[in-house]
Amino acid sequence: MIEPACLEKLEMECGALMSAHPPVLRHPHKQFAYDLCRAAGYQPTGNLNYSRWRPGPLPEALPVDEGLVQSHDGFYDYASASDSAWHVNFADPRLFVAYGSGLLAQDEIQVLEHPVLGSLRQALIAKRYEATTEGSSGPTPVLVQNAERVCAIDTSPSEISPRGLYGNRFQAASLDAVRAALKVFAQPTRTNLIAIAAPLGSGRYSRQQIERILTTAFTGFRAAKLVSATSVEIHTGFWGCGAFGGNRTLMVMLQLLAARMAQVPSVVFHLGSVSERPAFDEGRQTLQRLTKNMTSVDDLLKKIVEMRFPWGTSDGN
C-alpha cells in the first residue's frame, strides 16, 4: 500500500495559540457562548497538533478483515474521548470557514464546543497555510489532535426554543435559549478530529464521484491510523447527507468500505435520529453482500456504480 503523504503539520501550545489568534466570532450568539465559557473559568491548556494529507492511490485488493462496526442512536456525545477515538468533521473545503457566522450545523457545532479550532483557522491564515480540506487537485483531509472540548450545546427542540437551534435556527434564537442550551464543563475533555470535505452533486453518482468520496474518507481514516500511537476508533455519521443532499445508503457503504481499506479496527456510526437506522442497515448489508466473494477494489467500485445511486436534496440547513 502506498500511504497518504503529510503535506504540512504544526504543533502549537493552546494558550499561546488562542492569545495570538483569538477566534473571530462575527455573530453575537457565538461570542455570547464563548464569553460564557470564559466567564466559567476556561483557560486553554496543552498542545494542539495539526496536519494535512495528500491521498495515495486506493489499494488494489480489499483487506480480509472488516473490523468492528457499531451503530449509535443520537449524535456525537464524545463519550469515547480518548487517544484512540477520532471524530469526523463534515467539513467545507475551507477548513472551519463558517465557524464565526450565525450558522450552527455539524461543522460549526464542533468549533463552538472546541473554540481552539477557530484560533487554529486564524493561525493557519496568518501563517499563509492552505487551511483547506480539498483543493483543485483533489482531497486533502486535515487531522487535528488534542482539541479541548469546553462545552456542549443541545440543539434539539425545547420549551424555550420549540424549533431547536440547529442550522439556521441558531441565529434566530434568543440569548436565553442559547444560554439554556449550553453546558460549560468544569474540566474540558480532548477530541481528535478528521476534517473531510462533504461531497456535492446531483442526478446519479458517477464513478468519478464515488471514487473521490472513497479516496477522501480512506485518506482521512488511514492518516489517523498512521499518526496514532494506540488503536483507532472512527466515529462518523451521515457525512454530506444534510445540506448537501448525499445518498445515506451509499455514504454508509463508502465510509465503511474506506475504514476497511484503511484497516481501522473499530467504527462507531452515529445515526442522529432512530428513523435513520434503516439507511444504515441497508448500507451495511449491501456492502457485506457485495464484498462476500470479492477481493478487487476496482471490481467492487464497478458494482457500486452499476447500482445507480441517486443524489438527494438539501435539507435546508
Residues 19 and 287: their CA atoms lie apart, in Å, by 47
What pLDDT is attached to residue 207? 96
What pLDDT is attached to residue 217? 97
The residue-averaged pLDDT of 75-90 equals 88
What pLDDT is attached to residue 317? 67
Lowest mean pLDDT among 6-20, 25-39, 53-67, 143-157: 53-67
* Banded model confidence at residue 316, pLDDT cuts 50, 70, 90: low
- Dihedral (Cα; 153, 234, 5, 305), 10-degree rounding: -110
What residues have CB less than 8 Å from 307, skipping those under 6 apart? none
Which tens digits make up the pLDDT trace of 210-246? 999 999 999 999 999 999 977 899 999 999 998 788 9
- For the entire predicted model, the pTM comes to 0.96
What pLDDT is attached to residue 253? 98
DSSP state of 25: -
